[in-house]
Structure 1
Amino acid sequence: MYRGDPIEMAMVTRYNDKGQLIQTVQNRLFRRPRYITENRNGDVIVSDVDRLVVTERGGGHRFTYTGPPSGSGLALQGICTDVMSHILVSANNTNTVQMIDKDGHFLSLILTPQQLISRPVSFFMMTKLTYSG
Structure 2
Amino acid sequence: MKALYYNAILGILLFFPSFLKAQIRPFEPLNPDRIFFKGKVVDTDNNALPKVSIYIPGSMRGTISDSNGNFYIDAKPKETLYFTYAGKEDAYRQLQEKDTTGFIVQMQPRIQRLKNVHVRKDKKIIERHRATLIKT
Q: TM-score range by the shorter chain?
A: under 0.3
Considering fraction of residues, name the structure with more helix.
2
Structure with more relative contact order (C-alpha pairs < 8 Å, separation 6 or more): 2
TM-score, normalising length: structure 1 = 0.27
